[in-house]
Structure 1
Amino acid sequence: MLDATLMKECADPMLKPAIVEQFVAAVGSDDPLAITVKSGNRLILVPKPKTPEEAMKIVRENIGGAVVRVGLTQIPAGIGLKDASERHADLVDSCANLRMGTAMFSKILRIVAKWYGNPTNEEVFPQLFDDAVHAWRTGKFEGDNVFQAPDPGGLVIQEEQPSPDASDSVAQSAENEPNPQLVEPNNAAIRVDLSRIGGQ
């Protein structure tokens, strides 16, 4: 589970904390130095880095011929960089990685939402989220590269999480209501019509 302070300070403010948690749980890693290298459909095994320097060395060695994903959000290395020399250790910094990853995912959510016609019903959000996660993993949505695509802008409806106050008030109102099973036997209404039994 992501640290609440890290989320508050570093995650994209367009995404609700619950969505940030869902996103990292779906695609990310608990280890800020985590590196995944894929060539086509093949996963390439790389040594587990112990320091940010080792992590960046692995990124530099593999970035040319493979897809390299890095850090908490497993963001693809090299997105938005014109030159390999621009690459820096921000990728393995927890806060910077979360900031870049959630900003990119927020953009992908807006791309998916636009394709859906920018729905306003929050019941549609789980499908939007699943499609955005799939786009994050594959890099594509409807044939377009989501990491390079322009940001369509706008807001995405996100599921409302029930507030603790709301659930408390529901529990309290349930406590105050009489339990229908505790009715006096002599005052109970007839529930089964027995009048026809025995009649010919």
Structure 2
Amino acid sequence: MLDAVLIKECTDPSLKPAIVEQFVKAVGSDDPLAITVKSGGRLILIPKPKTPEEAIEIVRENIAGSIVRVGLTQIPAGIGIKDASELNLDLVDPCANLRMGTGMFAKILRIVAKWYGNPTSEEVFPQLFDDAVHAWRTGKFEGGGVFQAEDPGGAVVQRSEVTTENTGKGEDSLAKKPEDASIRIDLKRIENRMRP
């Protein structure tokens, strides 16, 4: 669990504290020096860094050709930089990592909300949150990259909290009984096959 002072002082002010906690719980780490490296869809085992300097060195060694996630928010390292030497200790500083990560997640949440037509009902928020978490993990939403996308701006209506049973299940998470769940079918594959 994140420290309340850290949340108050180091997170994007557009996100409610409960949403920040749920975001970090869903995608992040308890260790500010945590590094995850994936290459070709496979997780690469790396030594656990003991110091911030060692962590940044590991990131610099692995950034070329791999997806490297760092810190409390598991922010993707290297976004917007041209050279690995530009990577600095902010990536593994708890406050700076939270500030960058929650700022980027807030932008992704606004991208998702805009796609949904900027709904004003709190009831829709669990679905938005789930889709934004998925976009954070994959780097994509509706076929477009989210990390370097332009921020659409605006505010997102947030629930006071997103319960863990809602996280990752989309709109059906609100259904209490299986027979109450809505039907969700992805017809894209069928549509693509039917085109001449």
Q: Answer yes or no: same fold by TM over 0.5.
A: yes
Paired residue for 1:111? 111
Deviations 1:115-160 (A, max 9, x none): 0000000000000000000000000000111001000000000003
Which residue in the other structure is 2:89 paired with? 89
Q: 1:110 and 1:47 mapped to 2: Cα distance?
A: 36
Instruction: Tell me the matched-pair count.
Output: 161
1:139 alignment partner in structure 2: 139
Runs of 5+ in structure 1 lacking a partner? 162-200
CA distance in 2, matches of 1:140, 1:124: 20
Deviations 1:23-63 (A, max 9, x none): 00000000000000001210000000000011011101000
Structure 1 runs of 4+ aligned residues shifted over 6 Å read none
Letter in 2 for 1:28: G
Cα distance in structure 1, aligned partners of 2:71 and 2:114 = 28
Q: Partner residue of 2:99?
A: 99
Q: TM-score, normalised by structure 1?
A: 0.79
The answer to which structure, 1 or 2, has the higher relative contact order (CA under 8 A, 6+ apart) is 2
Structure of higher CA gyration radius: 1
Most deviating of 84-93 and 115-124: 84-93
What is the alpha-carbon root mean square deviation over aligned residues? 0.8
Paired position in structure 2 for 1:44: 44
**2:29 aligned with 1:29:** yes
> Which secondary structure state, in structure 1, belongs to the residue aligned with residue 102 of structure 2?
helix
Q: Partners in 2 of 1:87 and 1:20 — Cα distance? A: 24
SS in 2 for 1:19: helix
